[in-house]
Amino acid sequence: MVSPNGVMHMAEEHALPLGKTLEEERAWFEAQVKECEAHLLRFAYYLTGNTERAKDLVQEAFLRAFQYRHSFDHRYPFENWVSAILLNIHRQREKKDRFLKFFSAFWQAEQEDEAEDFTEQLEDEGEGPETIALKRQVIRDVYRCIEGLPPKMKEVMVLCDIMGYSYEEASEVIGCPIGTVRSRLHRARRYVKKALEAAYGDELLGLWG
């Protein structure tokens, strides 16, 4: 869209290729959602550590994304944009949970949910049952460490290591400079490394082939 004086407006330039009607907007949005739903579910799962909460989080993120669809900038991937929204909602919920936890002594008991063991999916690559059991144990330990990280470090570790984002993409999702992502990730890995060192001692390096 070019205005009479020849200036291209940012908002118009990167507006959605939505078409004119609400129906077309919805169709476009649902197509985008279908593409990235599984990915976002994984992201939400690693943030919350719970399937039900992950589903709920993704649902709300999509809804909010639809409400603010006109602020989506087409230069960036849709997935990253919704990831950023999801992360914001997650942060808000964490804050609320912390507040509730402060006032409710029984919150911890309510929070107890099924600890899913998805390490069963680790395939045996002809290494033998002992090695595979050990690997599963290491994965479980690392997962527990990541769950116990401070929220900001956890976000970066989930994005960069588990989801495989680059530093630049992670910085877009989190909304901070790349340098911050770099230092947070380093600290997070150092934390996990120390925990593993404490658990396995000198055998640590021989654990992973």
What residues are paired with 2 via a beta bridge? 8
Distance CA 100, CA 89 (A): 16
For residue 72, state whether it binds another protein (rule: CB under 8 A). Answer: no
Q: Which is nearer to another protein, 94 or 117 (CB)?
A: 117
Distance CA 162, CA 128 (A): 25
Q: In the bound complex, what is the minimum distance in angstroms from residue 93's beta carbon to another protein?
A: 16
For residue 139, state whether it binds another protein (rule: CB under 8 A). Answer: yes
Candidates 45, 72, 78, 81: give the one binding another protein (CB under 8 A): 45
Candidates 146, 149, 173, 174: give the one binding another protein (CB under 8 A): 146
Chain centroid to Cα 73, Å, comes to 20
For residue 126, state whether it binds another protein (rule: CB under 8 A). Answer: no
For residue 180, state whether it binds another protein (rule: CB under 8 A). Answer: no
Q: Which is nearer to another protein, 79 or 161 (CB)?
A: 161
For residue 78, state whether it binds another protein (rule: CB under 8 A). Answer: no
Chain centroid to Cα 136, Å, comes to 22
For residue 132, state whether it binds another protein (rule: CB under 8 A). Answer: no
Distance CA 173, CA 141 (A): 27
Residue type, 4: P
Three-state DSSP at 84 gives: helix
Do residues 168 and 175 touch, judged by C-beta distance below 8 A?
Answer: no
Distance CA 154, CA 148 (A): 8
- Interface residues with another protein (CB under 8 A) are 26, 29-30, 33-34, 37-38, 41-42, 45, 51, 54-55, 58-59, 62-63, 66, 116, 118-119, 121-122, 135, 138-139, 142-143, 146, 157, 160-164, 166-167, 178, 182, 185-186, 189-190, 192-193, 196-197, 204-205, 207-208
